[in-house]
Structure 1
């Protein structure tokens, strides 16, 4: 085991009202397909041999000093605005807790590890395609400045799965995520549903102390943190052109870290109506409605915290969201443009100039931000962009374009390319295009950073 590993068992402080001990499925095979050594280095696990990696993240032998047994976490949630008290970790669990190089408490959670008490009618498995898609999503989002869970490990498991939304039988996998906590808004909703104020107070204390590093159990202070982080999350999705697809309250982490990637998409153009989930018929979680959706979810946290405190300070915390979001989306767009802020008025005017032109011209988002990086538009951006060009003129670049990355083409992750990458794996077991894409994404991240 790597000597820098700092294991933790902090989740046990919450008590067994929050989880159910479970066992991982026994898979026919364990073929290592992806290991995230960048993320592993942050938690002291980069020194593991491939055999040891598979033993821990395919067979789920406990990490020394961390949890003795996996825990399926309990929570409720609103799913497309309908409350569901019958959910929880249905095909995953909390495998281990560790500290990263900055001392933050990190969770290693799974997807596809078999059935739990919360599986309902599901088989508890994950398709290999679903695992590949999550790796691509998290790597792309990290490169684009989104605070996201990290795809830590992907192991093919040798089972044939039947699925109604893709050709079946299809290949199976198990994914491990590295996240800054797995406590969801839905975790609080469950305790409010049960009217369990004492346990709710213990959860508030855990989140503030373990995840925010702030002593005391003030529910209003917790909500203020979550409102700020959620506003940043919504803003970062917009700047990245990302559509999560399923922004249910059980999919919102109280640290504001994006996670749980099912039917995600990157929108090709600035299209507020672009949806990711084929079943989102009303466009509830469309690209342009994501800030509204995330704000609504945070409201459910405020409602849950009413078992501990009065409504007025909670309402005041919620009302900060719109202004925080405007500040965060401005900062995120300036970051992606590679320019230094000039002041609130000028910066917001620039954002207000860009969005309608992108929408009206249907300019590819990734192409525009690639070309405009550093604050100078090429001449081919003609009359519709005259106002954008004028607004950009006074800005100074935060990073020059001397990097060789900027002499190539923009890196995108649109659905057609995702399908092409998967086809190479599915039809020929060819992982080279997938590996090349990860290298290109990471090169973009380094150029943007």
Structure 2
């Protein structure tokens, strides 16, 4: 009968002893490997924990699949006020506001992380003392090599200062825009390369080009040649620290508008970094200035014509002299004197500056139904002044003639003798 060890005669054979010793040695080797592996893992974990605790400005937390905290780094206390031992085993929803918790935001974030592997969010979070801070949160899943969920890693960064700066910047921008909107001038900023980097235009002022066609482009690429030259000279003055001023005009839908520009240098640490151009629309001022010049010019003409009428005894010379005075002294482009013949013809008796085109000095055949400034002056006995003949809606029949002969404005004055209209003087101007 064998013993309790299973050996037949109670004593193991030498072969069995050798096999037993071999197995014991193998077990010792396996145990040694396990011990080394455990020590390596322990060392790696210590290194990992040391590395995490050396990270500043980022709180890092390990969550289980249900969202309960199983580990964290030391920065959690600096950012959120909790010690490690206070957080282990707590649900990560304690960092959220009551409103977010009621809305189920923590659980929704876990679900989204499961679907997308990693998510980012910014919002208000709560510290231990109840104060709020603006946090950027990155939540990602952790899985083993077979894809099974181990938990989540949550990284939190305090961006309260950045949030405050953004709000201050937004408030400053709103105040700045309020100031700009109260200024009835256009403002353009050019960098040191001459590119438009900023603009402001009041609602009542039209831009020469849509913003998309000039922002981030050099002034020399988009402005008319004469304005490029003026801007270049102004920038050269700015480079020397001088303020430059100049006037210029632009066409908007064939309408000329005048502007007054003041360009000032922008300096940083004594170095030129760009220019600021403040531009005012002075079209109204220019128009008044031109009206005043025309008035002075007309007074001079009338004075000269009056002297001619007093001194002249020959009608032909009188007409020629009147036309000469109007063109040369008045500075007008052309003039024609027409007398009424047989009730329906205005015959040219004298003209000046009308060019070689015979149509410019032709007789005019009157149609009383026709809408024409000549007909109006004859019928009403009143002068007709047209500032923009080529766009005239009141007298459409004269638009083509104005475009063909190239004049922009005209005046028609009735010649009244013995209380009757005997003819007209038509004056043309650019």
TM-score by length of 2: 0.22
> For the pair shown, which has the larger CA radius of gyration, 1 or 2?
2
Flag the structure with more relative contact order, 1 or 2, with Cα contacts below 8 A and sequence separation at least 6. 1
Instruction: Please identify which structure carries the higher strand content.
Output: 2
TM-score under structure 1 normalisation?
Answer: 0.21
